[in-house]
């Protein structure tokens, strides 16, 4: 994308000697907005990043994988600050315009000798690497890179101007909707203020990253950042242009969120649960959240079992008002439960066939009101246990 450069190299942080240090550079300071984890246990780069983002401007982001720099005390803050200074010096930019992120094992200090030695190489690599290299350098237990790009067009006094939004994310485990459960970096060449960008990013996250779950755990390092360098033609400065930009950003964030769920640790299937007919939208959210988090629902999904009792029971314990005699439950277009009554073996066989698909849509209609919300989630397999049992070894 015009005005942005990327790098991804190996600094020796990970034991397997794969790429583990990524760098994003904007050729000029960019308007920026960010959202961070709501976990009360936070990593040093999040503590520092919250202060950095107060002014709404960024020019570079350094990301290391393999080490979370969390529960590292004053030393961790000092290491994060040192990373900022090293990047700023190497790029000859203002340290106030540098953000750092970390992901990986909690509790170990950053290997600053390795990072300090490799930052100059990362800066040199900006001229030869691509966004693919950066996307690979930020992964942990992910099995694939996650990238999405969308173009948009804005009409200004009969003159059509275009813009591009690109997004990169990492996330596979420790995924629970509570801001943006992962690391994600989004870039656009549109000209938009930091305040409007924050508004757009907050909305996009609320309908995407805040509506996904893999295992119900909120990370200590969650970071979602968007940079707008204004290097393109489009200016976002009115309701019409903002609406076009918002729609494109919503799509980028949703597709990135879906890629995270599909790549959930040990996952074999993705399901969307929509709860409608709730008394309020808040009730619909809580019921959908309870279903998406349920280990019993997730293991039934893995077993290709349309175990409707687990789904309705999860809604019933969510704390919202339900009436079991009014519930309708669909698997795709198959109505398995109507007015709280199972529709028989023939219908269940159709639902079981749907459960064999890689992507499944489930709709629970409470038939009590107009509230509606939805979540994306994945199944639980044996591999989830294996991956996390061996994570630190």
339: domain CATH number is 3.10.20.340
Share of the chain above pLDDT 70, in %: 97
Task: Flag whether pLDDT at 66 surpasses 90.
Answer: yes
Q: Is 170 helix (H, G, I), strand (E, B) or coil?
A: strand
Q: How many CB atoms lie under 10 A from the CB of residue 356?
A: 9
The two structure tokens encoding residue 327: 């519930």
> pLDDT band at 181, cuts 50/70/90?
low
pLDDT tens-digit series, residues 72-86: 999 999 999 999 999
Task: Say yes or no: 230 and 284 in one domain.
Answer: no
393 pLDDT above the threshold of 50? no
Q: CA torsion sign, 15 to 17 to 18 to 22?
A: positive
Q: Is the pLDDT of residue 178 over 90?
A: no
pLDDT of residue 392: 58
> Does residue 202 share a domain with residue 59?
yes
Residue 176: domain span: 4-262
Average pLDDT, stretch 173-199?
84
State the catalytic residue, choosing from 37, 52, 103, 181: 181
How far is the C-alpha of 29 from the C-alpha of 291, rounded, in Å?
43
Contacts of 66 (CB under 8 A, 6+ apart): 13, 14, 15, 20, 103, 104, 105, 140
Question: Tens digit of pLDDT for each residue in 343-353?
Answer: 999 999 999 99
If asked whether residues 276 and 332 sit together in one domain, one would say yes
The yes-or-no answer on residue 312 being catalytic is no
* 120 and 172 inside one domain: yes
Residue 1 confidence (pLDDT):
83
- Mean pLDDT across the chain: 94
Instruction: Round to whole Å and give the CA distance between 165 and 173.
Output: 26
Asked if the model's pLDDT at residue 6 lies above 50, the reply is: yes
Last residue of a domain, one of 227, 262, 297: 262
DSSP structure class, residue 171 = -
Instruction: Specify the CATH number for the domain of residue 207.
Output: 3.60.70.12
CB 267 within 8 Å of CB 214: yes
Over 70: is that where the pLDDT of 108 sits? Answer: yes
Do the beta carbons of residue 122 and residue 83 sit within 8 Å? no
Q: Where are the alpha helices (DSSP H) in the chain?
A: 44-52, 73-91, 112-124, 131-137, 194-206, 239-262, 281-293, 295-302, 308-316, 345-354, 382-389
Q: Are residues 323 and 355 in the same domain?
A: yes
pLDDT digits (tens, 9 = 90+) for 321-333: 999 999 999 999 9
253 with 286, same domain: the answer is no
Q: What is the count of structural domains for the chain?
A: 2
Mean pLDDT, residues 148-165 taken together: 91
Residues 289 and 248 in one domain: no
271 CB-contact burial (10 Å; exposed 0-12 / middle 13-18 / buried 19+): buried
Residue 214 CA to residue 273 CA, distance in Å, equals 13
pLDDT band at 175 (very low <50, low <70, confident <90, very high): low
Kindly report, residue by residue over 229-253, the tens digit of the pLDDT: 999 989 999 999 999 999 999 999 9
Question: Could you tell me if 257 and 275 lie in one domain?
Answer: no
Whole-number Cα distances in Å, 142 to 172, 175, 342: 5, 12, 39
Please count the other Cβ atoms lying within 10 Å of the Cβ belonging to residue 116.
15
pLDDT class for 136, splitting at 50, 70, 90? very high
Burial of 74 (0-12, 13-18, 19+ CB in 10 A): exposed
Q: What whole-number distance in Å separates Cα of residue 328 and Cα of residue 321?
A: 15
**Is 274 a residue whose pLDDT tops 50?**
yes
- Residues 8-59: tens digit of each pLDDT: 999 999 988 899 999 999 999 999 999 998 888 899 999 999 999 999 999 9
């Amino acid at each position: 994308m015009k005005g942005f450069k990327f790098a991804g190299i190996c600094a020796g942080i990970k034991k397997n000697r794969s790429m583990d240090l990524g760098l994003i550079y904007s050729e000029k300071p960019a308007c920026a907005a960010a959202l961070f984890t709501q976990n009360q246990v936070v990593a040093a780069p999040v503590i520092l990043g919250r202060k950095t983002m107060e002014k709404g401007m960024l020019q570079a982001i350094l990301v290391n994988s393999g080490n979370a720099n969390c529960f590292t005390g004053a030393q961790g803050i000092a290491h994060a600050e040192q990373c900022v200074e090293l990047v700023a010096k190497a790029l000859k930019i203002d340290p106030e315009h540098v953000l750092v992120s970390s992901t990986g094992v909690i509790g170990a200090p950053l290997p600053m000798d390795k990072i300090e030695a490799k930052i100059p190489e990362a800066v040199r690599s900006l001229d030869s690497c691509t966004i693919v290299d950066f996307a690979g350098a930020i992964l942990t237990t992910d099995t694939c890179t996650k990238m999405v790009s969308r173009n948009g067009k804005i009409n200004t006094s009969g003159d059509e101007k275009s813009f591009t939004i690109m997004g990169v994310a990492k996330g596979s485990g420790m995924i629970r909707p509570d801001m943006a459960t992962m690391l994600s970096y989004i870039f656009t060449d549109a000209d938009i203020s930091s305040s409007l960008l924050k508004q757009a990013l907050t909305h996009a996250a609320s309908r995407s990253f805040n509506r996904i779950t893999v295992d119900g755990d909120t990370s200590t390092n969650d970071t979602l950042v968007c940079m707008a360098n204004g290097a393109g033609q489009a200016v976002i400065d009115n309701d019409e242009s903002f609406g076009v930009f918002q729609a494109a950003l919503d799509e980028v964030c949703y597709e990135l969120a879906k890629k995270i769920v599909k790549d959930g640790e040990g996952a074999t299937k993705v399901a969307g649960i929509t709860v409608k007919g709730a008394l309020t939208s808040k009730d619909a959210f809580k019921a959908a959240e309870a279903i998406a988090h349920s280990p019993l629902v997730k293991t039934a999904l893995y077993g290709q079992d349309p175990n409707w009792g687990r789904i309705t029971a999860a809604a019933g314990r969510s704390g919202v008002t339900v009436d079991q005699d009014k519930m309708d439950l669909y698997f795709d277009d198959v109505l398995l439960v109507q007015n709280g009554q199972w529709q028989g073996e023939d219908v269940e066989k159709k639902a079981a066939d749907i459960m064999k698909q890689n992507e499944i849509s489930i709709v629970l209609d409470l038939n009590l009101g107009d509230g509606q919300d939805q979540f994306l989630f994945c199944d639980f397999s044996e591999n989830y246990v294996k991956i996390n049992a061996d994570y630190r070894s």
